[in-house]
């Protein structure tokens, strides 16, 4: 039992990675530092901010989310399912003549098919969002508690190709980082 | 909201941004002159050889362009009422569409002459024969029809003055109280628009078969109005970009949002069209199904399917990706397609009432449409050449200048 709790705790904490973090007190400097970090050849790194930063996606060159495409595929699946399901229930498994209409009347089932499309697309989008964000990771490694109120950080993991702690520290400092530390995130 | 600095010196920002002044090019003048000439020639020949069909073609194009003109006024009013900041830089484009309204009023007066060729309820003998028409005569009669037409156009022209006139005036004096006035006038216009446009659609299109009725008809016409207005606005903006105007002022972010509206009202149109169809299909009442039956048989069936696929599925799928709404050539192609489908929609509402088994489409329809398009282009381009291309002193202009769409 105690073992299980430890495992769950570890899962909720997320995979810790060793690396280097720079901490800023000015969000504009962070966005600029992120741009410089990307230009120095680091492709994948994290930015931690208490609130959404304008232009950070562009500065870090974050690709667009694939969730729209997942939603579209799920919507198509839901639509197909709706067509099959209305046909199977109304015309095959339990045929009932209603109002003298044909057993499988598309006009009557379009609302059902439409709702299936929306239901599949919506639930899958939420599920994909949770999965892609590695939620529920409620207790990640903390670089600095102030990052949830008034400070901003960039974190580069050791495993990233082109990782050079000394060079990154120099880069962060030259971009006005108030603090640079070797840490885990 | 705009900062206090920009409120003090809005004009200083305009110069640096180079809004530019639109000049009607000789090519455009030639194009609309030819279109108007072709339209007049087609109308005269058509009225001599096949008057009832020509008046039908006239009705379709007349309704099509009145819809676009009102759509422009409606969109401008919505922006005032919602206190929208992002759309300030495209508002003048929507206002420009309403420049057709005075010409539309003249076209309406001409249509009034031809109306007896189309509406059997204007024929006293036929009304007397039919009990249904006798009962409907308190609404569907010549006098009330004339009063309605005059009233509708009078209201629309008054609100064009109150909304577009005030907007243009603000360019000169920068009076921010005009923005508040336009908000109140916008609310009044939206209420009046909802009623007048619904009844206009009923009078013009639905009453062509006076014993058929659909309570959702007004909003069906409105769905097409919003969709086609967005398409036309996008085309005007892209044309101006080609002329090196509005570049950087109306950018891909504004186009993206107009594209979203186009997408949204593509879905809305299908939703309303299906709602109308499904209820008629379910209830299966002869006085309602008589609208559907000729349109789902013989030569009209392919056109009905083309309408469903062309006005919904094609723009729905083609506008879905983000890049589609931010790529000018793609957006232009879809907009032209949607405008063609809007014509098909109105044509499909009108023509089967008389030609229930055969599709008649040819030179008459094309020429009359060309004529109306010519007048429309003349009115819109004249308006744009006489005014600033954006409301340069609108208090929310900074918001529009920095408009950015993340998703």
Give me the pLDDT at residue A37, please: 87
Q: Are B230 and B257 in contact (CB under 8 A)?
A: no
Q: What is the β-pairing status of strands A152-157 and A18-24? A: antiparallel
The parent domain of residue A91 ranges over 67-132
Higher pLDDT, B146 or A179: B146
pLDDT value at B279 more than 50: yes
Q: Are both A49 and A99 inside the same structural domain?
A: no
Which of A132, A155, A176 terminates a domain? The answer is A132
Q: Are both A122 and A72 inside the same structural domain?
A: yes
How many helices (H) and strands (E) in chain B? 20, 0
- Chain B nearest CA to A107, separation (Å): 6
Nearest by CB to residue A110, choosing from B274, B320, B406, is B274
Domain assignment present for A149: yes
Q: Provide ipTM, 2 decimals.
A: 0.82
Domain assignment present for A9: no
- Chain B nearest CA to A26, separation (Å): 22
Rounded-to-integer distance, Cα B101 and Cα B106, Å: 9
Domain assignment present for B25: no
Q: Are both A89 and A103 inside the same structural domain?
A: yes
The parent domain of residue B152 ranges over 48-388
pLDDT value at A103 more than 50: yes
Note whether A99 contacts B277, CB cutoff 8 Å: no
pLDDT digits (tens, 9 = 90+) for B113-140: 999 999 999 999 999 999 999 999 999 9
Domain assignment present for A104: yes
Q: Are both A110 and A167 inside the same structural domain?
A: no
Domain assignment present for B34: no
Q: What is the dihedral of CA B212, B216, B222, B227, to 10 degrees?
A: -100
Note whether B322 contacts A99, CB cutoff 8 Å: no
B323 in A contact zone (CB under 8 Å) = no
Q: Are both A75 and A124 inside the same structural domain?
A: yes
Domain assignment present for B230: yes
Q: Are both A119 and A167 inside the same structural domain?
A: no
Task: Give residues 122 to 151 of A whose Cβ lies within 8 Å of B.
Answer: none
Q: For chain A, how many structural domains are there in total? A: 2
pLDDT value at A10 more than 80: no
Domain assignment present for B271: yes
Domain assignment present for B326: yes
Q: Are both A93 and A118 inside the same structural domain?
A: yes
B322 in A contact zone (CB under 8 Å) = yes
Query: Which pair of structure tokens corresponds to residue B140?
Result: 């569907």
Rounded-to-integer distance, Cα B231 and Cα B339, Å: 7
Q: Are both A80 and A125 inside the same structural domain?
A: yes
Q: Are both A81 and A170 inside the same structural domain?
A: no
**Looking at residue A39, what DSSP letter applies?**
H
**pTM attached to this predicted model:** 0.89
Domain assignment present for B393: no
From residue B76, give the alpha-carbon distance in Å to each of A46, B91, B229, B233.
43, 6, 11, 12
In total, the C-beta contacts within 8 angstroms joining chain A to chain B are 17
Higher pLDDT, B268 or A40: B268
Give me the pLDDT at residue A55, please: 84
Domain assignment present for B309: yes
What's the CATH number where A158 sits? 3.30.70
- For B67, counting Cβ atoms within 10 Å of its Cβ (0-12 exposed, 13-18 middle, 19+ buried), the class is buried
Least confident among B114-118, B191-195, B403-407: B403-407
Residue B9 pLDDT grade (very low, low, confident, very high; cuts 50, 70, 90): very low
Query: Which pair of structure tokens corresponds to residue B146?
Result: 């004339």
Query: Taking CA atoms, what residue in A is nearest to B277?
Result: A107
Query: Taking CA atoms, what residue in A is nearest to B321?
Result: A68
B282 in A contact zone (CB under 8 Å) = yes
From residue B63, give the alpha-carbon distance in Å to each of A23, B219, B222, B224, B260.
63, 15, 12, 11, 25
Which residues of A are less than 8 Å from B274 in CB distance? Answer: 110
Radius of gyration of chain B, Cα coordinates, nearest whole angstrom: 22
- For B249, counting Cβ atoms within 10 Å of its Cβ (0-12 exposed, 13-18 middle, 19+ buried), the class is buried
Give me the pLDDT at residue B15, please: 44
Domain assignment present for A4: no
Domain assignment present for B112: yes
Note whether B277 contacts A107, CB cutoff 8 Å: yes
Note whether A108 contacts B322, CB cutoff 8 Å: no
A119 in B contact zone (CB under 8 Å) = no
What is the average pLDDT value for chain A, to the nearest integer? 88
Q: Are B396 and B2 in contact (CB under 8 A)?
A: yes
Q: For chain B, how many structural domains are there in total? A: 1
Q: Are both A124 and A147 inside the same structural domain?
A: no
Note whether A108 contacts B278, CB cutoff 8 Å: yes
Give me the pLDDT at residue B147, please: 97
Give me the pLDDT at residue A185, please: 80
pLDDT digits (tens, 9 = 90+) for B360-400: 999 999 999 999 999 999 999 999 999 999 999 999 999 99
Domain assignment present for A46: yes
Query: Taking CA atoms, what residue in B is nearest to A72?
Result: B320
pLDDT value at A14 more than 70: no
């Amino acid at each position: 039992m105690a073992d299980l709790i430890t495992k769950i705790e570890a899962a909720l904490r997320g995979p810790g990675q060793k690396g280097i973090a720079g901490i800023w007190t000015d969000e504009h400097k962070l966005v600029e530092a992120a741009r410089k970090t990307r230009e120095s050849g680091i492709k994948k790194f994290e930015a931690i901010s208490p609130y959404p930063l304008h232009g950070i996606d562009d500065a870090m060159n974050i690709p667009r989310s694939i969730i729209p495409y997942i939603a579209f595929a799920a919507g198509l699946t839901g639509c197909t399912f709706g067509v099959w399901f209305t046909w199977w229930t109304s015309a095959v498994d339990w045929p009932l003549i209603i109002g003298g209409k044909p057993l499988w009347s598309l006009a009557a089932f379009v609302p059902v098919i439409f709702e299936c499309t929306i239901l599949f697309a919506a639930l899958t989008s939420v599920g994909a969002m949770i999965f892609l964000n590695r939620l529920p990771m409620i207790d990640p490694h903390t670089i600095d508690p102030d990052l949830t109120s008034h400070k901003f950080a960039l974190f580069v993991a050791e495993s990233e190709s082109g990782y050079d702690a000394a060079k990154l520290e120099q880069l962060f400092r030259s971009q006005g980082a108030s603090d640079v530390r070797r840490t885990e995130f | 909201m705009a900062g206090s600095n920009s409120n003090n010196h809005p004009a200083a920002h305009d110069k640096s941004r180079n809004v530019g002044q639109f000049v009607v090019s000789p090519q455009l003048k030639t194009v609309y002159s030819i279109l108007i000439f072709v339209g007049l020639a087609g109308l005269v020949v058509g009225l001599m050889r096949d008057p009832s069909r020509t008046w039908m073609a006239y009705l379709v194009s007349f309704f099509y362009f009145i819809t676009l003109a009102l759509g422009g006024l409606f969109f401008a009013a919505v922006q005032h009422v919602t206190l929208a900041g992002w759309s300030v830089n495209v508002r003048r484009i929507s206002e420009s569409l309403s420049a057709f309204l005075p010409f539309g009023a003249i076209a309406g007066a001409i249509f009034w002459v031809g109306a007896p060729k189309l509406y059997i309820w204007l024929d006293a003998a036929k009304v007397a024969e039919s009990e249904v028409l006798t009962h409907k005569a308190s609404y569907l009669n010549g006098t009330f029809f004339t009063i309605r037409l005059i009233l509708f156009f009078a209201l629309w022209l008054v609100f064009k003055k109150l909304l577009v006139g005030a907007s243009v005036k603000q360019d000169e004096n920068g009076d921010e109280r005009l923005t508040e006035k336009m908000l109140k006038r916008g609310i009044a216009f939206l209420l009046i628009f909802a009623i007048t446009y619904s009844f206009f659609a009923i009078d013009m299109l639905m009453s062509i078969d006076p014993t058929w009725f659909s309570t959702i008809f007004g909003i069906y016409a409105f769905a097409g109005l919003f969709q086609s207005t967005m398409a036309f606005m996008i085309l005007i903006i892209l044309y101006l970009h080609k002329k090196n105007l509005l570049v950087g002022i109306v950018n891909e972010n504004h186009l993206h949002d107009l594209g979203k509206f186009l997408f949204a009202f593509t879905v809305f149109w299908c939703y309303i069209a299906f709602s109308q169809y499904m209820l008629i299909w379910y209830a299966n009442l002869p006085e309602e199904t008589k609208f559907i039956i000729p349109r789902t048989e013989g030569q009209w069936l392919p056109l009905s399917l083309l309408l469903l696929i062309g006005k919904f599925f094609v723009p729905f799928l083609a506008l879905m990706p983000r890049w589609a709404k931010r790529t000018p050539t793609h957006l232009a192609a879809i907009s032209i397609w949607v405008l063609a489908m809007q014509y098909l929609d109105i044509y499909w509402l009108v023509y089967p009432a008389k030609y229930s088994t055969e599709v008649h489409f040819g030179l008459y329809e094309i020429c009359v449409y060309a004529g109306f398009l010519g007048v429309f282009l003349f009115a819109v381009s004249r308006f744009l050449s006489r005014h600033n291309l954006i409301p340069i002193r609108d208090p929310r202009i900074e918001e529009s200048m920095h408009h950015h769409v993340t998703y």
